[in-house]
Amino acid sequence: MAQMKKAFDMSDLGLLYFYLGVEVRQDANGIALHQTHYAKHILELGGMTGCNLAHPPMEEWLKLSRDSTVEEVDATYYRRLIGSLRYLVHTRPDLVFAVAYVSWFMERPAMEHL
């Protein structure tokens, strides 16, 4: 740190706690990245704050179609949710497949996709 201060105009702000919506926790065991606050925000946005936990995040063998006959949902709202989930998968790799799968239906999202 002292060598960097000589070469660059900088100050020591201590340990990193929060960066671009990612919570950083550092201790003797290592560094952990979380997005708890952001995940809660996504649940509020989707109207799912009171929902139960699900394992795994998507049904097995789920088949969705682009040519759904079910009622369509607001595409802007759907895209906003998917965009938020795409940012969340940086710290939740277990959600990557499910988020990628529902991303395929952003052109004409229906209630079954939501």
pLDDT score of 76 more than 80: yes
pLDDT score of 63 more than 80: yes
Q: Which among 46, 31, 109, 98 has a CA at the least distance from the CA of 75?
A: 109
Q: How far is CA 100 from the centre of its chain?
A: 12
Task: Give the max Cα distance, the chain.
Answer: 66
Q: What is the mean pLDDT of residues 64-93?
A: 90
Burial label for 89, CB within 10 Å (0-12, 13-18, 19+), is middle
Length of the chain (residues): 114
pTM exceeding 0.85? no
